[in-house]
Structure 1
Amino acid sequence: MPRVYESIKNKLHIPKIIHLIGTNGKGTTGRFLASALYTLGFKVGHYTSPHILEFNERIWLNGKVVSNESLEETHIKLLNILSKESADSLSYFEYTTLLAILIYADVDYIILEAGLGGEHDATSVFPNILTLVTPIDRDHEAFLGETIQEIATTKLNAIQKRVILGNQTHNEVYEIVDKISKSKGITAEKFSILLEAIDYEKIENIAKENDLPQYLRENLMLSISALKALGIEYKTDSFTNSRLFGRLTKLSENVIIDVGHNSLAANSIVKSLSPHKYTLIYNSYKDKNYKEILRTLKPIIKDVEIIEIEDDSRVEELLIMKETVEELGFKYKLFKEIVPENNYLVFGSFSVAEAFLKVYNG
């Protein structure tokens, strides 16, 4: 990606970029910020990943997902800019990142969400004006490292000019960003300090109007701290309808869906939904610490229904998943349908959400 970007950067127009790195909350923080900027009169793009049902979800532009026509036109334009060798060398995510940058050529701000990690992520090659850091925790260990120090260092090496940190559960993250920011001569701030002069009653009203659980309120405050850093005044209604789908989204009176897929997300959900009990609709990839995730969710789970995901070799074998669920003391069965008398929590990867929604939407 750095090599290809270097070869075509004189053909690209790069607007002001706000880069998002972290383990959890990048999507919701980015959408809060993008929606507020758009409501306040700016032209804005929000690049997020992965998608749940259709690719267009990844490229949000001025209040709605990009059209198929725009994608096709930009795809042709990008292929004309790239050499065949460069086009063939790019990964799926690298190519789609360049596609988004072309689509966002005329916006005022791009909210650019890292896909995996930070330092070596495709989104890190572009110059940015600000980096926002959501909570960092263990995830994708095979790629990012086994320890918080390794994971945080890989992510935080992406910061360029100014960085704002959301609340972190690991003190090592603060220590690492302090070290990196000093070595690069970068301004580093905690969002809690930036928000000291902000009217918390105003934030509470925004949270209530949008029915935000606690962890989404922290994402909201991180997005507001970005507005403050940019010197942009916001209004209470700047965040109306800015909540991203699949983040503790209530599909009906008895069905909640969340695309969280790690222990940090599971812990946030337990805090938000306790003391209520749910039937958990779940499955997991082999490389996820799903036993720890299920153990974390246990206080709010009465039983488990394992949803099958087709044609994905990364998904854990059904027999092993059944044995794990049984070992943790859960009653379980395969998911077939929603019944009115149960309350359901659909939790897991975007693939779990996709598989469930295909059944739920008929």
Structure 2
Amino acid sequence: MNHTYEQALAWIHGRLPLGIKPGLKRMEWLMEKMNHPERRLRAVHIGGTNGKGSTVAYMRSMLREAGYETGTFTSPYIEQFNERISVNGEPISNEAMIELVEIIRPLAEELEKTELGGPSEFEIITAMAMYYFAYIHPVDVVLFEVGLGGRFDSTNVIHPLLSIITTIGMDHMQFLGDTIEDIAFEKAGIIKNGVPVITGVKQKAARKVITERTREVRSSVYQLGKQFTADWQESLPQGEDFHFQSVFADMKDLHTGLNGLHQTENAAIAVMALLYLRAFYAFQIDEEQIRSGLQTANWPGRMERVSEQPVVLLDGAHNPEGMKALVASLSERFPGKEITALFAGMKDKQLDGMVVMLEEAAERIVFTSFDFPRAAGKEEFEPFLKTHQWQEDWKGWIEEFRSSAKEDEVLVVTGSLYFISEVRNLFDSRS
């Protein structure tokens, strides 16, 4: 077919109108046609409502310090589409993307003619990642981030060394259910026979669901707060300091590379995962490599500083749990500062609850929208415009804020990772 990169990307994005298509039948069909790449992978499967990306970032950084070539599959992307499939943090090349599309496009067109129907964009990119890490660029270990839920997510065709469920919160209820137990059931669907799970889930009801699932499939569970703990000590100029304690090892004064009180929990989950791989799969990683990997971990759009004067933070708090964590971190890091928030969110998110939480930390909230099909517009924010303001031109508004901000003012841009991506690109282009 001889695609260009632009044509390959346009074909992938052309699958978007198919929407989210839960179920594994199409993925199983693709895996069969692609000679089962999922069976050739040494993988860790990471699910949860929040914290998946940060946990992947910590694990990748520690594994890289220990000399392991590590593949990652993540979403959404922040800077370029290719970063969804990365090796040691480097996105795959445009040429690799073209090669993968050349392989999967005929299969997708064949699948479209069956009763199963054509694969979604996410199924396409998941299959591409599995084929890439199995046959084009094999790596030592692959970290697969769940896209949505778990039980019917397209990544759930893998049989990993280890499963991780970071947190569980009220998000994507239209697909996962409207109770914490329903959502926990869907997330726990990634737990496989005999494969242990490491989790940071806090709600008693959700923990019960996970425990019941592990009993059904005869696997074990390592729970944050029980088999391992993260004891936050203080916020550092960059990152957080915490003590880690577990059934495998204890470490004092670990430093995270990412800001936010919640990052100590994500980091602890990642450390516990590495210690498990060391104990049961002979991964060679020592304490210094763990320390160094945590401290050098990078993940854009999570309490990320893109400007020092004035301080401008980007944080993709796109659901109530994420917003709660952001508000707690802002209160700890910037006491006495005047905080302004620029907020853009999605129509299908719990906007009311997030805004109410954000008001606890921000003196002023400016609402805006951006070019995305599901982005909320002015009418969705109308109830809040009596006390806050609307801004159509967010790019011009940011420039105006930066030029007029006082020394004690802080700007936090939040609400959607897709919006964060656009704002980040703005700062990159003008830095």
Q: Structure 2 length normalisation: TM-score? A: 0.77
Q: How does 1:151-300 map to 2 (within 5 A)?
A: 151-160=183-192, 161-192=194-225, 193-194=227-228, 195-197=245-247, 198-201=249-252, 204-207=253-256, 210=257, 212-231=259-278, 232=283, 233-234=285-286, 235=289, 236-253=291-308, 254-274=311-331, 275=335, 276-300=337-361
- Decide which of 117, 120, 129 is 2:149's aligned counterpart: 117
After superposition, give the CA deviation of every residue in 1:228-254 in whole Å (9 maximum; x if it has no partner).
Answer: 111143322133432211111000111
TM-superposed deviation, 1:318: 1.1
What does the per-residue CA deviation read over 1:103-156, in whole Å, with 9 as the maximum and x for residues that have no partner?
A: 212111110000001000000012212110111000011111111111110111
| 1:11 shift after superposition | 4.8
Aligned residues: 354
- Counterpart-to-counterpart distance in 1, 2:323 and 2:191: 27
What is the CA distance between 1:255 and its match in structure 2? Answer: 0.4
Q: Which residue of 2 aligns with 1:91?
A: 120
Matched, 1:345 2:412: yes
Cα deviation digits, residues 234-279 of structure 1 (max 9, x gap): 3221334322111110001110001120110111111111034421
- Contact kept? 1:281, 1:347, Cα under 8 Å: yes
Q: Is the 8 A contact 1:282 1:347 kept in 2?
A: yes
Aligned to 2:28: 3
SS in 2 for 1:162: coil
Q: 1:62 to 1:356 in 2, by over 3 A?
A: closer
Q: Secondary structure at the match of 2:359?
A: helix
Q: Which of 315, 323, 329 matches 2:375?
A: 315
CA distance in 2 between partners of 1:223 and 1:68 (Å): 30
Amino acid at match of 1:228: L
- The one-letter amino acid paired with 2:161 is I
Measure the CA separation in 2 of the matches of 1:309 and 1:155.
30
* Distance in structure 2 (CA, Å) of the matches to 1:303 and 1:124: 42
Identity %: 25
Quick one: distance in 2 between partners of 1:64 and 1:191?
A: 30
Name the CA shift for 1:120/1:211 in 2 (closer, same or farther; >3 Å).
Answer: closer
5+ residue gaps, structure 1, are none
Bigger mean CA deviation after superposition, 348-357 or 176-185: 348-357
Change (3 A) 1:164 1:3: closer
Query: Unpaired runs of 5+ in structure 2?
Result: 1-25, 229-244
Whole-angstrom CA distance in 2 between matches of 1:69 and 1:291? 44
- Residue type of the alignment partner of 2:251: Y
Partners of 2:82 and 2:314 in 1: CA distance: 20
Say whether the 8 Å CA contact 1:78–1:102 is kept in structure 2.
no
Corresponding residue for residue 72 of structure 1 = 98
**Residue 62 of structure 1: CA displacement?**
2.3
TM-score (norm 1): 0.91
Distance 1:11 1:158, change over 3 A: closer
| Residue of 304, 307, 324 corresponding to 2:383 | 324
CA distance in 1: counterparts of 2:293 and 2:267, whole angstroms:
11
- CA apart distance, 1:283: 1.4
Question: Residue 52 of structure 1 is aligned with which of 54, 78, 97?
Answer: 78
RMSD: 2.1
Shift of 1:15: 1.5
- TM-aligned CA deviation for residue 6 of structure 1: 4.7
Matching residue's letter, 1:85: E
Distance 1:242 1:86 in 2: 40
Shift of 1:46: 0.9
The structural deviation recorded for 1:306 is 2.1
Task: Give 2:170's aligned residue.
Answer: 138
* Residue deviations 1:76-123 (CA, integer Å, cap 9, x gap): 23346x363226711000000011112212111110000001000000
- 1:157 is paired with a residue whose SS is helix
Conserved? CA contact 1:22–1:136, under 8 Å: yes
**Residues 1-24 of structure 1: per-residue CA shift (max 9 Å, x gap):** 343245235352621110011000
What is the CA distance between 1:291 and its match in structure 2?
0.8
The alpha-carbon distance between structure 1 residues 83 and 146, as it changes in their structure 2 partners (threshold 3 A), is closer
Corresponding residue for residue 132 of structure 2: 103
Contact 2:50 2:166 in 1 (8 A): yes
Q: State yes or no: 1:126 paired with 2:155.
A: no
